[in-house]
Structure 1
Amino acid sequence: MFVSPAFAQAAGQTGGIAGGIEAFLPLILIFVVFYFLMIRPQQKRMKQHKEMLGQLRRGDRVVTSGGILGTVNKVVDDKEVVVEIAEGVRVRVLRATIQDIVSKTEPVAAEADKVEGK
């Protein structure tokens, strides 16, 4: 009179491996969207910031991550620079804390060429 449990359970199953891929398809789609909207733009921004810090030189006006404006007085090494924030007030800061270059100076070689050309 009643349907046996074995037949009732077997009717609800779908194709083995294809069913597993279909279950992960929404997760894969979410990861792809997340990559193009969040991860990729952040990597691009980090690359541009690293290039900007690599081109940092003496005389550039910069803004630190703390919001302090100053002029690069000396490039100490790959990690530190000396920034003059007021007349006679120099502070050593990490390159990574420099957020933006407000104004760039011309390279020293270009200035020497201008003087010789006069």
Structure 2
Amino acid sequence: MSHTGFPVPLREIAMHYILMYEYAADYLERRAEFRDAHLKLAWASHERDEFQLGGVLADPVDSALLWFKTDSPAVVEEFVKADPYVRSGLVLNWRIRPWMTVAGEQADAPIYPG
């Protein structure tokens, strides 16, 4: 067992990654100009089976979560570099976190009770 409590080291498991965006205060007012290009990027990544799901957090609309499934965070970093929302300043800060999924149909490291 690894130091994380998982049966194998994390580096040996295909990971899910969460990309977190923090939006500018005027995000809603400015996004229209960049939205199609942002969505094209997301759907192209989805077609490569990298981007799984994503969207804005509501009430307030100040951030977003995007879920990727890939062997490397570099794929997510490339998405960020190409994203018109980031390049135009709509995204003030972003962060990538590995997400160890252990329960559910799409879990990469399922752990069952008992």
TM-score band w.r.t. shorter chain: under 0.3
If the length of structure 1 is used for normalisation, what is the TM-score? 0.24
If the length of structure 2 is used for normalisation, what is the TM-score? 0.24
